[in-house]
Amino acid sequence: MMASEFKSNVGLYEPTGLQQAKGKRMQKRKLGKSGLEVSALGLGCMGMSFGYGPPADKPEMVSLIRLAVERGITFFDTAEVYGPFTNEELVGEALFPFRGQVAIATKFGFDIRVDPRGTKGAPALNSRPDQIREVAEASLKRLKVDTIDLFYQHRVDPDVPIEEVAGAVKDLIKEGKVKHFGLSEPGVQTIRRAHAVQPVTAVQSEYSLWWRRPEQGLLAALEELGIGLVPYSPLGKGFLTGKMDANTAFDATDFRNIVPRFTPEARKANQAIVDLLGRIAERKNATPAQIALAWLLSQKPWIVPIPGTTKLHRLHENLGALSVELTAEDLIEIDTVSSKIAVQGARYPEELEKMTGR
């Protein structure tokens, strides 16, 4: 499909809930007490360039991102490691006409120059202050902005005290090159130590109905400190959409091929969580993906999920989740039933999981 056709097909997909959502102004949320206000749903852009098979067509993705802005999305997530570099370039090109109207989050923390692809599934970590500054300067150019709205440490570097990391970002904030500081997949004590040096605006963590570890202390700490939560993979890397099963085949370059949770056996066992979403969705005249997102949105008012997609109809479907209302009874049912489902398979290969929760 050419970019012009991609743009002209905007109206072809109108999933349940979108008709109502289009007639309303986009819901906004503040990430904790920081004052950073963004759309209630953001857009994760990684999969457009990296992780889930070959990169998507760039002109089509520029059109998709700009359509997201037209639909009211004001929060976009990228990182230098996605590609590497190409995703930031894509986001920068797509959002250049909307500078000052949207918030872009990007990340530092990997040493791409030393180990671009990563010998153990990810490049080497590097959060030394000089590296943070170098990454910031390069990201500013690729994103075509004067200031990075939200600058996350992508993974905690055990070789660099978090106080030094927070101090380096604090200096960038003083210089006007960064507005807000974030952490991705940190442990609670790391958050507290960083927050004491430079207030943390947002923590990014995987969180969904099939990965609920943030409920084990993280959410309480964020609420106490006034920090927002940005859940990535809120649809379980696509599994919670209900559009895959044990027989689904992934492209050879798709990251999910090495994820234990995505073996055919695990997918077959984990279908129970999708079946639950499907039952609720049928009652609500919605889709499983919309129920999964609506559930996340109902957990805390300072949670902003960032589902990613390369498809127009999925973007529309995700936005439709904002019009799905889950009652207290619905939420109790979801929690009661899901608590009895033992999700099979680790969410990351061992080496990547070691990088989280530090």
What would the two tokens of residue 180 be?
């807000």
C-alpha closest to that of 228 among 3, 38, 21, 56: 38
Q: Using the CB atoms, write b or e for 80-89: b if 16+ within 10 Å.
A: bbbbbbbbbb
Residues of the chain with pLDDT under 70: 1-24, 115-121
Written as one letter, the residue type at 339 is S
Q: Which two three-digit tokens encode residue 27? A: 């819901």
Nearest to 322 by CA among 114, 6, 72, 129: 72
pLDDT tens string 205-225: 999 999 999 999 999 999 999
Provide the 10 A C-beta neighbour count for residue 134: 14
Residue ranges of domains in the chain, CATH in brackets: 17-235+297-326 (3.20.20.100)
Question: Which amino acids are annotated catalytic?
Answer: 82
What pTM did the predictor assign? 0.93
d(CA 295, CA 179): 30
How far does CA 247 lie from the centroid of its chain? 26
37-39 and 28-30 beta bridge pairing: antiparallel
Q: What count of residues does the chain have?
A: 358
pLDDT of residue 11: 36
